[in-house]
Amino acid sequence: MAKLIFTYAVMNSGKSTALLQANYNYTSENKNTILISHKIDNRFGESVIASRLGYQAPCFAIDNKTNIFNYVKEQLESLEKVSCVFADEVQFFTKEQVIQLSNIVDELNIPVMAYGLKNNFKGDLFEGTATMLAYANEIRSLKQACFCEKEANMILRYEPNGKIIKEGEGIKVGAESMYRSVCRKHWKEGNLGPSIYKKLGVPDPFNK
């Protein structure tokens, strides 16, 4: 029976790598898959899902107006069968688009494996994530360690001078130079950890 499976984690935890590995498991057996991601994440170029390890695969890039269900249904006209739909960066999807993913499972009987962040740097759930948590048949998590070795489940956003940002635009694509995955305690403190302060060349306010 087809399922909607949601895998969430913090940044730099290997979400895209896990997606690409799962996709490879299908395609290596000559099974058709469909890969989808959001245009807002264009760090590695549009219409591509890429991991920091160098692996990548072409995908269909959507915006907030795309009807994902209709797109997949159209692909079925040329593909004999689709074994799985993979969706990356689903935190950027709208509520309606996450429901469309669930409709792919329920009406087309195609499994959907979705990957994304759980919460933003302000500690709030993304719209796509909140809907996914409500609609998914199965919820999984990828583990990442904070600099203190506890589980990292929050994201800090910071400026080049080390200042912590907890207000403002909720969606701003960036990489290690802007975000840091930490545990809840250090997120509350706004503590980036010694290695980041050293890298930025600024005093560590927690190690005076």
d(CA 169, CA 120): 10
Question: For this structure, is 89 an active site residue?
Answer: yes
- Token pair for residue 2? 């087809």
Counting as low any pLDDT under 70, the low residues of the chain are 42-46, 170-176, 208
Q: What is the pLDDT of residue 40?
A: 84
Q: What is the pTM of this model?
A: 0.91
Q: What is the pLDDT of residue 55?
A: 80
- Token pair for residue 40? 């807002």
SS (H, E, C) the chain: CCCEEEEEECCCCCHHHHHHHHHHHHHCCCCCEEEEEECCCCCCCCCEEECCCCCEEECEEECCCCCHHHHHHHHCCCCCCCCEEEECCHHHCCHHHHHHHHHHHHHHCCCEEEEEECECCCCCECHHHHHHHHHCCEEEECCCECCCCCECCEEEEECCCCCEECCCCCCCCCCCCCEEEECHHHHHHCCCCHHHHHHHCCCCCCCC
Asked whether the beta carbons of 34 and 78 are under 8 A apart, the reply is no
- Marked catalytic residue, from 74, 77, 80, 89: 89
